[in-house]
Amino acid sequence: MATKRSPDELPQPKNNLWDFIAYYLRFQRNQRGLSGEALGRIIQAGKSQVSRIETGEERLDGTQAALLDKAWNTGGLFSILVWYASIGHDPQWFAQYLKLEERASMIRLYASQLIHGLLQTEDYAGALIAGGHSPTPDEDLHERLARQAVFSRPKPPYVAALLSQASLEWPVGTPEIMRGQLQHLVDLSEQPDVTIRLVPRTWNVGAHVGLQGSFQLMSGTDFGEVAFSESPGGGRLVSCPPDVVNYAVWYDRISAKALPEEPSRDLVRSLMEELR
């Protein structure tokens, strides 16, 4: 049985808009004398998902918000709140993102400028963090490397990575660090649950949707599919199904520009040779 949380452990309405939604949903449910199961029937979700939404572990999506607005005649309040929360920028979203990454059964990612954190060596990550002038570099490095524990889970996620050629060519640290990082990508790409493909910097590829920036799609049996779009200082976690579909379409379009697996490994090896 799950441990009941104290009021201080529940989402606080002044933290951010998502926490306000979780708080207000719980408040309105209690005001109406409804159980979590009864609320689940309204938003077409199980009791456990209702609990996760109210405790901030999961987020109310646009479809669920619309069902609430209709059932409770709110004038569209929940839909408006979810819309504003979805378009905002919140540094705290990264903590939520990390929890989903740990639980994901499939991760699809696109890296535009730098090699993704899940794929970084310790030396590359350390040099990158040092270049960002972090006030807590050792802590940041430990947290980044800890994320890679997903690869050693009893059932690791399937990871499909699309990397721009530019992300492999940007010099980080030293030539030795970059060679080690590129070799690490080759080694990872040979694991059964990892696929790494490169988007080459050629005229044939030209301009494509991936030039807009890096993003990631995560799928899990207990949370469906969400997207995370990176930006300085935080990012944007997207759970509304129509918006997630947009990211899936963008991923597919970038994938169409990428090289197959073995030519991708060949390109990585050629970039390694240029560093000698």
Quick one: 148 and 182 in the same domain?
yes
Beta-bridge mates of residue 220: 224
- pLDDT, tens digit, 9 for 90 and up, residues 82-100: 888 776 655 566 677 778 8
User: Would you mind telling me the total number of residues written for the chain in this entry?
Assistant: 276
Reported as a single tens digit per residue, the pLDDT across 154-165 is 899 999 999 999
What are the residues whose beta carbons fall under 8 Å from the beta carbon of 237, sequence distance 6 or more?
59, 93, 96, 97, 100, 226, 227, 228
> Mean pLDDT, to the nearest integer, of 116-120?
94
Task: Say whether both 28 and 102 belong to one domain.
Answer: no
Q: In the predicted model, what is the mean pLDDT of residues 185-213? A: 93
Whether residues 46 and 148 share a domain: the answer is: no
The Cα–Cα gap between 23 and 40 comes to 16
- What mean pLDDT is reported for the chain? 89
Task: Examine the domain organization and report whether 132 and 262 are in the same domain.
Answer: yes
Mean pLDDT of the 224-234 span: 76
Q: Which of 87, 110, 144 is the last residue of a domain?
A: 87
Q: Domain for residue 3, yes or no?
A: no
Task: Please report, for the domain that includes residue 265, its CATH number.
Answer: 3.30.870
Facing residues of 196 across strands?
161
**What is the reported pLDDT for 1?**
40
Q: Do 73 and 104 share a domain, yes or no?
A: no
pLDDT band at 68; cut points 50, 70, 90: very high
Domain boundary among 20, 53, 87: 87
Same domain, 62 and 115: no
Nearest-angstrom CA–CA distance, 93 and 49? 19
Predicted pLDDT of residue 182: 97
Residue 2's pLDDT band, with cuts at 50, 70 and 90, is: very low
- Asked whether residue 43 is domain-assigned, the answer is yes
pLDDT above 90: percentage of residues in the chain: 62
Section 111-125 average pLDDT: 95
Domain co-membership, 235 together with 123: yes
> In terms of domains, do 170 and 242 share one?
yes
Range(s) of the domain holding residue 48: 8-87
Under 8 Å between Cβ of 105 and 153: no
Amino acid at 130: A
**pLDDT of amino acid 187:** 96
1, part of any domain: no
Residue 88 confidence (pLDDT): 60
Q: Is residue 14 part of a domain?
A: yes
pLDDT at 93: 64
- pLDDT category of residue 102 using cuts at 50, 70 and 90: confident
Structural domains counted in the chain: 2
Q: Are 227 and 249 in contact (CB under 8 A)?
A: no
Res 121 pLDDT > 90: yes
Of 61, 87, 113, which residue sits at a domain end?
87
Once rounded to an integer, what is the mean pLDDT over residues 65-89? Answer: 87
- What is the pLDDT at residue 225? 87
Same structural domain for residues 106 and 188?
yes
Is the pLDDT confidence value at 3 over 70?
A: no
Residues 130 and 72 in one domain: no
Residue 41, burial from CB neighbour count under 10 angstroms (0-12, 13-18, 19+): middle
Domain holding 72: CATH number? Answer: 1.10.260.40
Q: How confident is the model at residue 223 (pLDDT cuts 50, 70, 90)?
A: confident
Q: Is residue 270 part of a domain?
A: yes
User: What gap in Å lies between CA 248 and CA 219, rounded to an integer?
Assistant: 11
| Residue 272 pLDDT | 93
Residue 156 resides in a domain: yes
Same domain for 184 and 102: yes
What is the number of other CB atoms lying within 10 angstroms of the CB of residue 194?
20
pLDDT digits (tens, 9 = 90+) for 167-187: 999 999 999 999 999 999 999
Q: Is residue 47 part of a domain?
A: yes
- The confidence score (pLDDT) of residue 4 equals 62
Domain assignment present for residue 191? The answer is yes
Asked if pLDDT for residue 7 goes beyond 80, the answer is no
Q: For helices 93-103 and 137-147, give the axis angle rounded to 10 degrees.
A: 30
* 13-23 residue pLDDT tens: 877 788 899 99
Residue of 1, 12, 201 whose CA lies nearest to 113:
201
- Are residues 205 and 100 part of one domain? yes
